[in-house]
């Protein structure tokens, strides 16, 4: 087996692993009733953008579009498809291992180019029809984006991937400031028509990323760093997919031992009145607010659904998606409640009691209120205000 065969074998294994994870949360019911309709709706919405730009794009300045794509620069890595056992078996064959690493890095470059092409096709109707910019400028814009993403990925590949928490945050500040400066300079150059300067920035970003990757590309002595990057990327993907399904039992993340939690360190009572209903509510509030995974999951579900409602132009699609969103959010809240309260050894024996049922109903109603208010604002109230105040 040569290096190319080994590389594609591992890429195939990687995709099989991802497919297996996705299958655990997407069954045939979800595929038929959610994924397929969402894909069909997306196609019709995209076609409508070529006919007439959506109304919401009028309030999106070009600078905001640049800011949105700046946030899309982060999260990628140059993968080499190294495995832990390679230190024993593959490291003896330096040529085979180095060839696989080089192939993985080159494929990572090409994958980011394909991502840029997809995003360019996605926003091309808005770029050409609404902003009235040329196709050449669109190509240069995504040339800047993908080259700067290469550079950010290369810089992150040189940093210590084991740093967590505030140390990782402090270390990331210079990277964000540097990338932001290049992105701002690119915005000014593109806006002023300095296409030659934009082209030079693309070339310099590409060259800088290659120089930073030179050691990983030419030697096998970066094995530990390569392995850490690949494992981090793999675990991040797994956590993201599993985070979409609260029904899948996940191993608890290791946390530093503390003498007392940050919130409710003295077991403060939230409700003065003691009742079974308030007891269940207090348990749920403390368990969810002490673990950011649940808070983050709630805002992710809320944010994604609300964003989809805003971007869908027809009113009937907004109302349909809002109804589906209420149903999905209700199921998600019920899953979290069951995991924290309903399946706990100390509380599951009370699952049929009135206090348990009322507590769950109150939690569901309270967490649905922000979503319902946002949907009402977007579907009826804001268009009504806009009809009287066109500038709003």
Same domain, 152 and 36: yes
Same domain, 239 and 290: no
**Total domains present in the chain:** 2
- Please give the full DSSP string across 133-154, using - where no structure is assigned: --HHHHHHHHHHHHHHHHHHHH
Same domain, 238 and 107: yes
Indicate whether 8 belongs to any domain: yes
Residue 239: pLDDT over 70: no
More confident residue, 63 or 143: 143
- Give pLDDT, residue 252: 47
- Please give the full DSSP string across 167-206, using - where no structure is assigned: HHHHHHHHHHHHHHHHHHHHHHHHHTT-HHHHHHHHHHHH
Indicate whether 269 belongs to any domain: no
Indicate whether 250 belongs to any domain: no
- Give pLDDT, residue 280: 84
- Please give the full DSSP string across 224-292, using - where no structure is assigned: HHHHHHHHHHHHHHHHHHHHT-TTS--PPPP----SS-SSSTT---S-SS--HHHHHHHHHHHHHHH-H
Same domain, 292 and 167: no
Nearest to 303 by CA among 329, 333, 338, 339: 329
Indicate whether 264 belongs to any domain: no
- The least confident of 182-186, 205-209, 373-377 is 373-377
Indicate whether 261 belongs to any domain: no
> Which pair of tokens denotes residue 131?
């902003």
Nearest to 203 by CA among 216, 186, 218, 215: 186
Could you tell me the pLDDT band of residue 30, with boundaries at 50, 70 and 90? low
Separation between Cα atoms, residue 364 and residue 359, nearest integer Å: 9
Indicate whether 160 belongs to any domain: yes
- Tell me, what DSSP letter sits at residue 118? H
C-alpha distance across the termini of the chain, in Å? 65
> Which pair of tokens denotes residue 230?
């690949």
Same domain, 228 and 334: no
> Which pair of tokens denotes residue 41?
């709706």
- The least confident of 139-143, 239-243, 341-345 is 239-243
Q: What angle do CA 186, 191, 195 make, to 5 degrees?
A: 65
Could you tell me the pLDDT band of residue 227, with boundaries at 50, 70 and 90? confident
- Give pLDDT, residue 107: 94
Rounded to the nearest 5°, which phi and psi values hold at 72?
Answer: -80, 0
Residue 177: pLDDT over 70: yes
Same domain, 139 and 29: yes
Same domain, 235 and 283: no
Percentage of residues in the chain having pLDDT higher than 70: 79
* Residue that terminates a domain, selected from 228, 243, 258: 243
Residue 137 CB-half CA count within 13 A: 18
Could you tell me the pLDDT band of residue 250, with boundaries at 50, 70 and 90? very low
Question: What's the full length of the chain, in residues?
Answer: 392
Could you tell me the pLDDT band of residue 262, with boundaries at 50, 70 and 90? low
Could you tell me the pLDDT band of residue 383, with boundaries at 50, 70 and 90? low
* Residue that terminates a domain, selected from 243, 267, 295: 243
Separation between Cα atoms, residue 365 and residue 372, nearest integer Å: 10
- The boundaries of the domain holding residue 345 are 276-388
Give the contacts of 102 (CB within 8 A, at least 6 positions apart): 3, 217
Same domain, 313 and 215: no
Indicate whether 296 belongs to any domain: yes
Rounded to the nearest 5°, which phi and psi values hold at 346?
Answer: -85, -20
Indicate whether 376 belongs to any domain: yes
Could you tell me the pLDDT band of residue 139, with boundaries at 50, 70 and 90? very high
């Amino acid at each position: 087996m040569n290096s190319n065969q080994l590389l594609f074998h591992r890429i195939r294994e990687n995709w099989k692993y991802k497919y297996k994870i996705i299958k655990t949360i997407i069954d045939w019911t979800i595929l038929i009733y959610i994924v397929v309709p969402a894909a069909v709706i997306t196609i019709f919405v995209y076609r409508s953008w070529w006919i007439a730009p959506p109304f919401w794009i009028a309030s999106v300045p070009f600078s905001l579009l640049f800011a949105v794509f700046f946030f899309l620069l982060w999260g990628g890595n140059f993968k080499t498809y190294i495995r832990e056992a390679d230190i024993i078996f593959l490291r003896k064959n330096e040529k085979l291992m180095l060839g696989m690493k080089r192939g993985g890095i080159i494929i990572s470059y090409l994958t980011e180019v394909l991502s840029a092409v997809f995003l360019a096709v996605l926003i091309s109707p808005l770029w050409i029809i609404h902003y009235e910019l040329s196709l050449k400028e669109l190509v240069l814009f995504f040339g800047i984006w993908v080259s700067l993403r290469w550079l950010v990925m290369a810089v992150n590949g040189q940093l210590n991937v084991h740093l967590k928490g505030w140390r990782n945050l402090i270390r990331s500040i210079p990277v964000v400031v540097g990338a932001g400066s290049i992105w701002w300079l690119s915005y000014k150059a593109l806006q002023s028509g300095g296409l030659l300067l934009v082209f030079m920035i693309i070339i310099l970003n590409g060259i800088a990323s290659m120089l930073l990757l030179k050691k990983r590309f030419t030697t096998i002595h970066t094995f530990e760093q390569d392995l850490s990057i690949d494992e981090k990327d793999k675990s991040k993907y797994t956590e993201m997919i599993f985070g979409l399904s609260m029904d899948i039992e996940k191993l608890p993340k290791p946390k530093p031992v503390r003498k007392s939690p940050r919130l409710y360190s003295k077991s403060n009572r939230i409700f003065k009145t003691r009742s079974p209903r308030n007891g269940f509510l207090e348990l749920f509030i403390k368990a969810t607010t002490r673990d950011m995974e649940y808070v983050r999951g709630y805002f992710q579900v809320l944010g994604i659904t609300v964003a989809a409602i805003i971007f869908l132009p027809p009113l009937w699609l907004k109302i349909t998606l809002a109804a589906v969103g209420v149903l999905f959010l209700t199921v998600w809240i019920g899953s979290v409640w069951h995991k924290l309260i309903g399946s706990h050894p100390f509380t599951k024996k009370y699952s049929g009691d009135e206090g348990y049922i009322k507590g769950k109903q109150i939690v569901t109603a309270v967490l649905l209120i922000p979503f319902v208010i946002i949907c009402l604002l977007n579907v009826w109230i804001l268009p009504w205000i806009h009809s009287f105040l066109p500038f709003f």
